[in-house]
């Protein structure tokens, strides 16, 4: 059975490899309206709006649905669980790194990838099979608008993509409201890894009225000493978690030096809404503010 | 004189570890500061004890396998500990001590397996079998670890490797107490084996003729050194270089007698690791460096310098 599946994949790959050669003959220059430059600096031009799209990041899946191109999706990752309709799209694996064969087997005319080392390599392999790819950055709030615009161009959903992008751009350019609380995002406890200024979460917290005590660290995340967290004395420890169970380290003696841990002031943020930049960013800010206001 | 210098260095290092840190604690508040009492002091003491344990364990294992490349983690222990840690995270074992306990169990299991391999067919812990067995068991454990990481869904698994690279973020008086209760037994066993280990350096047969019970000696030394290392892994992860370099360093300065090597390797290992951890916490504050990087950056140049002096003379 497994061997059979493998063989059909292989046949598919061979077929796909043959396609670009056939197309070579009567190629007309693509209309400029369907061309963008991706974040790897590559020009991406389609001859017609993409009709079979594989999204390899939950954020892209959400964006595609938000601009009304959800019905074009023919592949997603196992992590893509929003909106609920997304779950009906066939999964091509966890996408880390992308399973090129599984992606190609969906016969996509566009694959949307997050720009990272392994993904750049996978994009190269897909391009060699004649499949168009677009590599986009999506680490920060201000990258949401440009990503939405380019997905709109490539799927022919320009108008709705532009209006979504405008909303996100205006949120991104909004000055943060005066902070009433301070918090630390602890991603891992041993060694302690915290979120720094170069991240979506730092910005989200600022828009919700909470100051990240590690805003002075420029990178997205960094290893710090518990001592530093204790000295900066945040009001809350923010935890990306779907449940409200205090993290394991809360029971360890060394963490009791941090006041917010001692007082069990944890702010639980469900990963589906807060763990990724996406079209629901305004909702995430509102929900963040609500959780801060209701916190003990 | 050399001993006095070593003792002074130990005191200075521990004092620096307590006084320096990323948080600003004024000198007059040091004695009353919870940051010093709950975090810095236990962390400095733990780093010193783990460094000492790794130094001693390195001396013992290098003597046992009579190979200058031997390192406390060589005999499959790091692979076993890594597997234990990943299992703890992948299967979400509950409780604040799940990860260190699982790592300890993993390390001890790997040790038991290598030990068993080392006794097969009357090999009697032949150094070659031990080294090969250690590498094989380590590779096997690493393969299972990677399989779990690539198949399991937990996104935290990537972080298991961060823990494995070692560090003292988990230090508290509880972990210090665990080491203080646990370490004296293997340390005592090794100290008692100092004289027979000197004889073993002459070769197994000569040592036997000179009255050492080589079979028993090898088993005891292997178990004691490995159990010491397993405890170090459980509280601090896999910290490289200390157990490899400190024994050589001490041999270059104090000669080859284990009566002198064990205490000096304990102190030198403690100094190196406590100093490395202090630097790891302070040089890039508010960020922190993984301590293994600092031990290598500190230890390797010192080692290279001594090695040059040694080969020139």
**CA–centroid distance for B233 within its chain:** 7
The SS3 assignment for B5 reads helix
For chain A, list residues whose CB is within 8 angstroms of any CB belonging to chain B.
78, 94, 187-193, 214, 216-217, 222-228, 230-231, 248-254, 256-257
pLDDT greater than 50 at residue A15: no
Q: Quick one: which of B215, B213, B221, B214 has its CA closest to B192?
A: B221
Domain that holds residue A81: 31-171
> Do the domain assignments include residue A284?
yes
Number of A to B CB contacts under 8 A, please give it: 97
> Any residues with CB less than 8 A from the CB of A218 and at least 6 apart, and which?
A196, A197, A198
Each residue's pLDDT tens digit in chain B (313 positions)?
Answer: 889 999 999 999 999 999 999 888 888 888 888 899 999 999 999 999 999 999 999 999 999 988 888 888 888 888 999 899 889 888 888 888 888 899 999 999 999 999 999 998 787 888 889 989 999 999 999 999 988 888 876 667 777 777 777 899 989 999 999 999 999 999 999 999 999 999 998 888 899 899 889 999 999 999 999 999 999 998 998 898 899 999 999 998 899 999 999 999 999 999 999 999 999 999 998 999 999 889 888 888 887 887 787 776 6
The C-alpha atoms of residue A121 and residue A125 are separated, in whole angstroms, by: 6
Kindly state the helix (H) or strand (E) to which residue A7 belongs, with its residue range: helix A2-23
Considering only CB atoms, A253 lies closest to which of B169, B172, B286, namely B172
Together in a domain, A158 and A284: no
Cα-based torsion angle of the residue sequence B102, B108, B114, B118 in order, rounded to the nearest 10 degrees: -170
> What's the pLDDT score for residue A24?
41
Together in a domain, A134 and A230: no
From the CA of B39, how many Å to the nearest CA of chain A? Answer: 6
The C-alpha atoms of residue B288 and residue B277 are separated, in whole angstroms, by: 9
DSSP state of A249: G
List helix spans (H) across A173-234: 200-208, 226-232
pLDDT greater than 80 at residue A108: yes
Number of structural domains in chain A: 2
CB contact under 8 A, B21 and A227: yes
Q: Quick one: which of B154, B143, B159 has its CA closest to B76?
A: B143
Considering only CB atoms, A190 lies closest to which of B170, B287, B289, namely B170
pLDDT tens digits along A279-292:
999 999 999 999 99
> Do the domain assignments include residue A176?
no
Q: How far is CA B293 from CA B168, B273, B279, B289, B298, in A?
A: 13, 11, 11, 7, 9
- Boundary-marking domain end, from A121, A137, A171: A171
> What's the pLDDT score for residue A213?
97
Together in a domain, A234 and A163: no
> Do the domain assignments include residue A35?
yes
- Boundary-marking domain end, from A113, A145, A171: A171
Together in a domain, A135 and A185: no
- Boundary-marking domain end, from A171, A191, A217: A171
**Which chain A residues have a beta carbon less than 8 Å from that of B150?**
none
Which domains are present in chain B? 2-312 (1.10.3470.10)
> Do the domain assignments include residue A62?
yes
The C-alpha atoms of residue A134 and residue A123 are separated, in whole angstroms, by: 8
Together in a domain, A234 and A152: no
The C-alpha atoms of residue B200 and residue A148 are separated, in whole angstroms, by: 71
> Do the domain assignments include residue A26?
no
> Do the domain assignments include residue A25?
no
pLDDT tens digits along A38-61:
999 999 999 999 999 999 999 999
**Which chain A residues have a beta carbon less than 8 Å from that of B281?**
225, 227
Q: What is the CATH number of the domain that holds A235?
A: 3.40.50.1980
Together in a domain, A112 and A216: no
Together in a domain, A52 and A141: yes
> Do the domain assignments include residue A10?
no
Q: Tell me which of A78, A98, A190 to substitute to probe the interface with B (most B C-beta atoms closer than 10 Å).
A: A190
The C-alpha atoms of residue A246 and residue A256 are separated, in whole angstroms, by: 13
Together in a domain, A162 and A142: yes
Minimal-distance CA residue of chain B relative to A275: B155
The C-alpha atoms of residue B142 and residue B148 are separated, in whole angstroms, by: 10
A208, two tokens: 């919700």
Together in a domain, A36 and A166: yes
> What's the pLDDT score for residue A31?
58
The C-alpha atoms of residue B278 and residue B20 are separated, in whole angstroms, by: 7
Helix axis angle for B258-282 and B242-254, nearest 10°, is 130
Q: Quick one: which of A180, A44, A213, A196 has its CA closest to A112?
A: A44
The C-alpha atoms of residue A58 and residue A78 are separated, in whole angstroms, by: 9
Considering only CB atoms, B281 lies closest to which of A217, A222, A225, namely A225
**What pTM does this model have?**
0.86
> Do the domain assignments include residue A5?
no
Together in a domain, A63 and A130: yes
For chain B, list residues whose CB is within 8 angstroms of any CB belonging to chain A.
21-24, 34-35, 38-40, 42, 94-99, 153, 156, 159, 162-163, 167, 169-174, 281, 285-290
The C-alpha atoms of residue A133 and residue A126 are separated, in whole angstroms, by: 7
The SS3 assignment for B76 reads coil
């Amino acid at each position: 059975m497994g061997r059979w599946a493998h063989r059909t994949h292989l046949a598919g790959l061979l077929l796909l490899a043959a396609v670009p050669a056939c197309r070579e003959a009567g190629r007309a220059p693509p209309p400029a309206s369907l061309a963008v430059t991706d974040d790897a600096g590559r020009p991406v031009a389609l001859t017609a709006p993409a009709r079979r799209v594989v999204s390899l990041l939950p954020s892209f899946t959400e964006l595609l649905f938000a601009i009304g191109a959800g019905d074009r999706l023919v592949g997603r990752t196992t992590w893509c669980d929003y909106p609920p309709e997304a779950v009906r799209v066939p999964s091509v694996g966890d996408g880390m790194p992308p399973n090129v064969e599984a992606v190609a087997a969906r016969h996509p005319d566009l694959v949307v990838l997050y720009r990272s080392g392994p993904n750049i390599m996978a994009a190269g392999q897909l391009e060699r099979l004649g499949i168009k790819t677009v590599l986009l950055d999506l680490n920060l709030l201000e990258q949401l608008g440009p990503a939405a615009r380019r997905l709109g161009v490539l799927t022919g959903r320009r108008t709705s993509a532009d209006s979504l992008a405008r909303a996100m751009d205006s949120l991104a350019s909004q000055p943060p409201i005066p902070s009433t609380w301070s918090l630390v995002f602890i991603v891992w406890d041993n060694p302690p890894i915290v979120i720094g200024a170069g991240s979506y979460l730092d910005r989200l917290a600022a828009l919700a009225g909470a100051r990240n005590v590690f805003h002075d660290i420029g990178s997205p995340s960094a290893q710090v000493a518990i001592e530093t967290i204790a000295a900066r004395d945040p009001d809350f420890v923010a935890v990306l978690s779907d449940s409200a169970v205090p993290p394991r380290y809360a029971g360890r003696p060394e963490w009791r030096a941090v006041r917010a841990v001692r007082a069990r002031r944890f702010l639980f943020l469900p990963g589906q809404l807060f763990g990724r930049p996406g079209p629901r960013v305004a909702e995430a800010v509102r929900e963040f503010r609500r959780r801060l206001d209701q916190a003990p | 004189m050399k001993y006095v210098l070593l003792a002074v260095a130990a005191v200075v290092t521990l004092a620096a570890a307590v006084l320096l840190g990323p948080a600003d604690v004024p000198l007059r508040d040091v004695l009353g500061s919870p940051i010093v009492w709950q975090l810095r002091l236990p962390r400095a003491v733990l780093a010193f004890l783990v460094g000492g344990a790794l130094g001693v364990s390195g001396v013992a294992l290098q003597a046992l396998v009579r190979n200058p490349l031997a390192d406390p983690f060589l005999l499959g222990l790091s692979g076993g500990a890594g597997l234990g840690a990943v299992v703890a995270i992948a299967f979400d074992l509950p409780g604040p001590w799940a990860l260190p306990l699982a790592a300890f169990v993993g390390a001890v299991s790997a040790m038991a397996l290598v030990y068993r391999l080392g006794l097969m067919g009357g090999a009697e812990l032949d150094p070659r079998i031990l080294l090969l067995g250690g590498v094989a068991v380590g590779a096997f454990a690493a393969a299972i670890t990677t399989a779990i990481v690539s198949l399991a869904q937990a996104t935290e698994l990537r972080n298991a490797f961060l823990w494995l690279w070692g560090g003292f973020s988990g230090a508290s008086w509880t972990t210090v107490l665990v080491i203080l209760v646990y370490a004296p037994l293997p340390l005592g066993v090794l100290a008692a084996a100092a004289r027979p280990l000197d004889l073993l350096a002459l070769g197994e047969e000569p040592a036997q003729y000179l009255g050492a019970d080589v079979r028993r000696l090898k088993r005891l030394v292997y178990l004691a050194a490995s159990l010491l290392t397993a405890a170090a892994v459980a509280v601090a992860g896999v910290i490289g270089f200390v157990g490899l370099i400190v024994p050589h360093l001490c041999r270059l300065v104090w000669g080859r007698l284990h009566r002198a090597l064990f205490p000096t390797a304990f102190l030198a290992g403690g100094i190196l690791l406590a100093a490395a951890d202090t630097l790891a916490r302070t040089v890039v504050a508010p960020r922190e460096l993984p301590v293994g990087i600092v031990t290598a950056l500190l230890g390797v140049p010192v080692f290279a310098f001594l090695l040059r002096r040694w080969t020139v003379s």
